[in-house]
Amino acid sequence: MRSLADQTEQELGGRWSVLSRQKRDHVRLDRLLEELGHAEGAHQEDVLHRIARLVFPHAFAEESVLWPELRRRLPDGEKLTLQVEQEHQEVNELWSALERTSHDDPERRALLDRLTDVLRQDVRDEEDLLLPRLQDSLDGPRLRRLGVAWEAVRRAAPTRPHPVVSRRPPGNVLAAAPLTMVDRSRDLLDLAGRRSAGRSQRWLGSASRRLGDVAGRVERWDPLRRGERPSTRRED
């Protein structure tokens, strides 16, 4: 099998193919991770925000659209997708831990380094193993139809870490609407906060945190945790 990294867009099924869409996101993520390695303070927060808006919808769409297809098509699809789901779970937990640290926390750099390592490993596992297997089992039209479905889910997916929600249906499907609404509202508040100062900035930050508390309560609703495998399940 050839890695997606070594294939042209035409070989991947064209611009609309889910493989081409995945590869474009991976290239963008690589650039952002390079930028993150040199970013500090407000710049670092801005880069992290852009990474979150890329990574979490991307992973949610994979878990909702692509990995069920792999499990249906491949005899070892369960094992292959579980490995990547475990990486996604670790990204969620690392990000949640990062959100609890300040910029002068001595643990912050270690969290950022580990997050970068896991994200890069996730890309390699997908481009070198999972997605070439999917490519071998599907024709071009099916890859393009999957690309349209994946893009539709990605555009309406949560944009923040939710380590308690199931990585598989039915839990992740049920979680999509409420958590997407909360996450994207928080994104708007945080964007406004970065452009404000003084009392307005504090008020916007407080409103975003309150919505974060709402999301925390929502993701612990039992139906949203159904379908989870033990190795990706977080109990708190």
Q: Look at the chain and report how many structural domains it folds into.
A: 2
Does 39 share its domain with 93?
yes
Does 23 share its domain with 84?
yes
Helices (H), the chain: 18-36, 41-61, 67-73, 77-99, 108-125, 131-137, 140-155, 171-194, 198-219
pLDDT above 70 (res 217): yes
CA distances 27 to 54, 123, 130, 170, 227, Å, are 11, 10, 17, 30, 31
Query: Would you place residue 18 in the very low, low, confident or very high pLDDT band (cuts 50, 70, 90)?
Result: very high
Q: What is the CATH number of the domain that holds 18?
A: 1.20.120
pLDDT recorded at residue 191: 87
Does 194 share its domain with 138?
no
pLDDT recorded at residue 235: 65
Angle between helices 41-61 and 140-155 (to 10 degrees): 130
pLDDT recorded at residue 125: 96
Query: For residue range 37-84, what is the model confidence (pLDDT) as tens digits?
Result: 999 988 998 999 999 999 999 999 999 999 999 999 999 999 999 999
pLDDT above 70 (res 15): yes
Q: Taking the mean position of all CA atoms in its chain, how far away is CA 149?
A: 16
Domain boundary residue, one of 157, 187, 222: 157
Q: Which of 1, 39, 4, 49 is nearest to 143 (CA)?
A: 4
Does 112 share its domain with 169?
no
Does 55 share its domain with 141?
yes
Determine the structural domain holding residue 38 and report its residue range: 1-157
Count the Cβ atoms, other than its own, within 10 Å of residue 182.
22
Does 173 share its domain with 152?
no
Averaged pLDDT of the chain: 93
Q: Specify the pTM.
A: 0.93
Does 210 share its domain with 230?
yes
Does 92 share its domain with 165?
no
- Residue 3 CB burial class (10 angstroms; 0-12, 13-18, ≥19): middle
Does 47 share its domain with 93?
yes
What is the percentage of the chain residues whose pLDDT exceeds 90?
82
Does 30 share its domain with 127?
yes
Does 211 share its domain with 152?
no
Query: For residue range 173-211, what is the model confidence (pLDDT) as tens digits?
Result: 899 999 999 999 999 998 898 888 888 889 999 999 999
Does 108 share its domain with 178?
no
